């Protein structure tokens, strides 16, 4: 997929003036016209629309609230970037808003992510690195008449917001340390920070667990909870059985006692009856043959032999009953003694069980059980946390090692030397092509080098450096290939011969990989423009036209509405 970026149409709309500009670009476009006709105004807006702080963009009677929109192609897709004051938005060609922002910090991150610009630079007097803004991405592609032809890199304003930005910016651009290098480096740093957080977290857990362990008693019993549960279950079963036996035996004893008392009562009655019968028999024997009057009813009975025989039979029967009852009483007594012995045995077993439990209580105090369980829980928790953190740490270390390998690939001395030599050769070759004298050429060009010589050769040397950076970026770098935009090459009194060389060399050299946009006041008649499309600007201070206003408004109405709506503060209702 092509990394080439092609600008198609720039729209400028001033609601204040009711005017607009529609400027289309071909693969090579020449904006040709005298001072004041709007060449630089058009060029500066190519970068202002992307969020760059361009120099003198609002100079003169220019409406500072002019809206800018640029239609461009990138990676086989059409896009449009829109800027309305501090509001910036990126749209696909179907007017779908991809992202927007109303502050440069947020926009810098969004536009950098969109173009894969990974450069982060250090703030002055700070250890903080921040995403480099669009100015640093576009700088090698733009030669501005107000800041790019001198001895310093002053193409855009506020470049000093970062310290030592030149080395990192241009090394990144020419491919010594391309975006892939910075991506891997920042990824390694980010992963390293996350790994350090995991290490600190692991150490904090270790320290916390140790503090708790130090509080717990030493030499705690080792508890086998499976065996302990089994033992408790066995004791429970024994206790239940003993209780059941005790209830059963007590029931048997109660039944036997009831029988015993019944037999005892019956024996008492029988003995009383036996005593009375014996008395009656003795009385009859003493009064044999006499008549006896009943004291109750007054009936007279004969004390006959037959009567005594009947009474004797009753006495014998009652005596047998008494013997039977006494035998029963003896059997009941034996059974009762046996049952009581069984009940005492159960009571002894219960007492033994209580004694065993008491001994366990003496040997194993509750606080020791709790402490032992706490230690076990603590050990389990630490092992789990340690395992999880160690696993996460190991994964992060593997990811960092992979990122470090990428960093090392770009730090390979042979590769760095090859890039430097290629860049140096390009500077030398292109300097010769634009006729920079040998003694005024840059001796040992480094990324970010600018000519220190004066006179008319300095601008040509600057152009050679830019063209060399473009060529080296195309060969070794991974930046998007933005258009090369040059505003007013006729600096320091370039004569027609040198100006011709500058225009023709930049057209050929930059045009290989880049779209070319050139702004010039005039060109020598000897210049072979080739495939440059010439846009002639003749009217001073008439860069915007009322004729195009309605078309521009119709085109930008929906994108502007979407942009403004996306950045409208949210209204919260109670």
- Three-class DSSP category at 31: strand
Residue 555: which pLDDT band, with cuts at 50, 70 and 90?
A: very high
b (16+ CB within 10 A) / e for 94-104: eeebebbbbeb
Bridge partner residues of 142 (DSSP): 485
Indicate whether this model's pTM tops 0.85.
no
The whole-number average pLDDT for the span 247-260 is: 86
Cα distance between residue 311 and residue 280, in whole Å: 8
Residue 362 has pLDDT above 60, yes or no: no
| Start-to-end CA span in the chain (Å) | 50
Residue 224: which pLDDT band, with cuts at 50, 70 and 90?
A: low
- What's the distance, CA 514 to chain centroid? 41
Q: Which of 27-41, 55-69, 305-319, 500-514 has the lowest mean pLDDT?
A: 305-319
Residue 544 has pLDDT above 90, yes or no: yes
Please give the residue that has the higher pLDDT: either 538 or 382: 538
Bridge partner residues of 130 (DSSP): 121
Q: Which of 270-279, 330-339, 531-540 has the lowest mean pLDDT?
A: 270-279
User: Residues near 556 by Cβ (< 8 Å), separated by ≥ 6?
Assistant: 11, 13, 67, 69, 82
b (16+ CB within 10 A) / e for 331-350: ebeeebeebeebbeebeebb
Q: What is the pLDDT of residues 308-353, one digit of tens each?
A: 777 778 778 888 888 888 888 888 888 888 888 888 888 888 888 7
Q: What is the pLDDT of residues 373-410, one digit of tens each?
A: 666 676 777 788 788 888 888 888 898 898 888 888 87
Among 447, 467, 465, which residue's Cα sits nearest to residue 510?
467
Residue 457 has pLDDT above 50, yes or no: yes
Among 531, 511, 545, which residue's Cα sits nearest to residue 23?
545
Residues 24, 8 contacting (CB under 8 angstroms): yes
Residue 365 has pLDDT above 60, yes or no: no
* Length, in residues, of the chain: 574
- Give the DSSP per-residue string, 329-375: HHHHHHHHHHHHHHHHHHHHHHHHHHHHHHHHHHHS-HHHHHHHHHH
Cα distance between residue 221 and residue 100, in whole Å: 66
Token pair for 554: 């119709």
* Residue given tokens 């078309």 in the structure block: 551
Residue 60 has pLDDT above 70, yes or no: yes
User: Residues near 41 by Cβ (< 8 Å), separated by ≥ 6?
Assistant: 57, 62, 543
Residues 74, 137 contacting (CB under 8 angstroms): no
The whole-number average pLDDT for the span 464-486 is: 93
User: Residues near 182 by Cβ (< 8 Å), separated by ≥ 6?
Assistant: 118, 119, 120, 172
Residue 276: which pLDDT band, with cuts at 50, 70 and 90?
A: confident
Go through the domains of the chain in sequence order and give each one's CATH number.
5-177+411-566 (3.40.50.300), 225-363 (1.10.287)
Q: What is the pLDDT of residues 40-57, one digit of tens each?
A: 999 999 999 999 999 888
Cα dihedral 529→534→538→543 (10° resolution): -140
**Taken in order 29, 33, 34, 38, is the CA torsion positive or negative?**
negative
Residue 68 has pLDDT above 60, yes or no: yes
Max intra-chain CA distance, the chain:
192
**Taken in order 427, 432, 433, 436, is the CA torsion positive or negative?**
positive
Burial of residue 460, with CB atoms counted within 10 A of its CB: 0-12 exposed, 13-18 middle, 19 or more buried: buried
Among 36, 38, 47, 45, which residue's Cα sits nearest to residue 11?
45
Q: What is the pLDDT of residues 513-527, one digit of tens each?
A: 999 999 999 988 888
Bridge partner residues of 74 (DSSP): 5, 77
Residue 193 has pLDDT above 80, yes or no: yes
* Residue given tokens 């930005």 in the structure block: 165
Burial of residue 182, with CB atoms counted within 10 A of its CB: 0-12 exposed, 13-18 middle, 19 or more buried: buried
- Three-class DSSP category at 486: strand
| pLDDT at res. 363 | 55
- Give the DSSP per-residue string, 477-524: --S-BPPEEEE----SS--HHHHHHHHHHHHHHHHTTS-EEEEES---
Cα distance between residue 350 and residue 250, in whole Å: 15
Residue 574 has pLDDT above 60, yes or no: no
Among 147, 83, 68, which residue's Cα sits nearest to residue 543?
68
Task: Output helix, strand, coil percentages for the chain, rounded to the nearest 5.
Answer: 55, 15, 30
Exposure of 219 in the CB half-sphere (CA atoms within 13 A): 0
Token pair for 430: 């292109």
Residue 184 has pLDDT above 60, yes or no: yes
Q: Which of 249-263, 285-299, 440-454 has the lowest mean pLDDT?
A: 285-299
Residues 350, 274 contacting (CB under 8 angstroms): no
Please give the residue that has the higher pLDDT: either 232 or 250: 250
**Taken in order 244, 246, 252, 257, is the CA torsion positive or negative?**
negative
Residue 452 has pLDDT above 90, yes or no: no
- What's the distance, CA 283 to chain centroid? 119
Burial of residue 198, with CB atoms counted within 10 A of its CB: 0-12 exposed, 13-18 middle, 19 or more buried: buried
| pLDDT at res. 311 | 72
Among 70, 60, 40, 65, which residue's Cα sits nearest to residue 155?
40
Give the orientation angle of helix 496-511 with respect to helix 457-476, to 10 degrees: 10
Please give the residue that has the higher pLDDT: either 377 or 463: 463
Bridge partner residues of 120 (DSSP): 131
């Amino acid at each position: 997929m092509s990394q080439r970026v092609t600008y198609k149409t720039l729209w400028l709309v001033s609601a204040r003036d009711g005017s607009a500009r529609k400027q289309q670009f071909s693969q090579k476009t020449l904006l040709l016209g005298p001072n004041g006709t709007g060449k630089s105004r058009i060029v500066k807006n190519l970068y202002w629309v992307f969020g760059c702080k361009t120099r003198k963009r609002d100079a003169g009677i220019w409406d500072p609230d002019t809206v800018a929109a640029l239609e461009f192609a990138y990676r086989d897709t059409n896009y449009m970037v829109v800027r309305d004051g501090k509001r910036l938005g990126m749209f696909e060609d179907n007017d779908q808003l991809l992202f927007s922002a109303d502050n440069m910090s947020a926009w810098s991150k969004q536009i950098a992510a969109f173009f894969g610009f990974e450069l982060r630079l250090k703030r002055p007097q700070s250890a903080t690195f921040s995403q480099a803004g669009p100015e640093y991405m576009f700088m090698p592609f733009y030669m501005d008449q107000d800041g790019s032809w001198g001895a310093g890199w002053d193409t855009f304003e506020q470049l000093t917001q970062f310290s030592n930005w030149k080395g990192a910016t241009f090394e990144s651009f020419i491919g010594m340390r391309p975006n892939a290098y910075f991506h891997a480096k920042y990824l390694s740093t980010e992963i390293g920070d996350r790994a350090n957080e995991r290490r600190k977290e692991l150490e904090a857990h270790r320290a916390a667990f140790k503090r708790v362990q130090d509080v717990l008693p030493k030499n705690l019993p080792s508890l086998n909870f499976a065996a302990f549960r089994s033992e408790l279950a066995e004791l429970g079963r024994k206790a239940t059985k003993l209780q059941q036996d005790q209830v059963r035996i007590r029931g048997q004893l109660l039944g036997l006692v009831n029988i015993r008392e019944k037999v005892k009562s019956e024996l008492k009655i029988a003995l009383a009856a036996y005593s009375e019968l014996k008395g009656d028999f003795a009385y009859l024997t003493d009064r044999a043959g006499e008549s006896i009057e009943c004291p109750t009813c007054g009936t007279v009975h004969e004390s006959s032999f037959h009567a005594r025989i009947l009474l004797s039979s009753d006495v014998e029967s009652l005596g047998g009953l008494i013997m039977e009852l006494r035998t029963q009483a003896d059997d009941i007594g034996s059974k009762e003694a046996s049952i009581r012995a069984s009940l005492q045995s159960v009571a002894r077993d219960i007492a033994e069980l209580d004694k065993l439990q008491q001994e366990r209580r003496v040997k194993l105090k509750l606080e020791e059980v709790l402490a032992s369980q706490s230690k076990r829980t603590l050990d389990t928790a630490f092992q789990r946390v340690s395992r999880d953190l160690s696993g996460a740490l190991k994964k992060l270390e593997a990811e960092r090692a992979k990122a470090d390998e990428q960093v090392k690939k770009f730090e390979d001395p042979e590769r760095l030397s090859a890039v430097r030599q290629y860049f140096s050769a390009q500077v030398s070759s292109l300097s010769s092509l634009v006729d920079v004298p040998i003694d005024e050429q840059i001796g040992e060009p480094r990324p970010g080098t600018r000519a220190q010589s004066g006179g008319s050769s300095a601008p040509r040397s600057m152009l050679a450096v830019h063209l060399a950076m473009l060529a080296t970026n195309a060969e070794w770098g991974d930046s998007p290939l933005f258009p090369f935009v040059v505003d007013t090459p006729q600096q320091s009194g370039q004569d027609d011969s040198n100006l011709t060389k500058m225009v023709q060399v930049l057209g050929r050299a930059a045009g290989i990989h880049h779209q070319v946009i050139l702004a010039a006041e005039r060109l020598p008649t000897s210049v072979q423009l080739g495939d440059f499309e010439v846009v002639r600007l003749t009217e001073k201070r008439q860069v915007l036209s009322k004729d195009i206003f309605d078309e521009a408004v119709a085109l930008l109405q929906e994108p502007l509405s979407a942009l403004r709506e996306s950045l409208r503060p949210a209204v919260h209702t109670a």
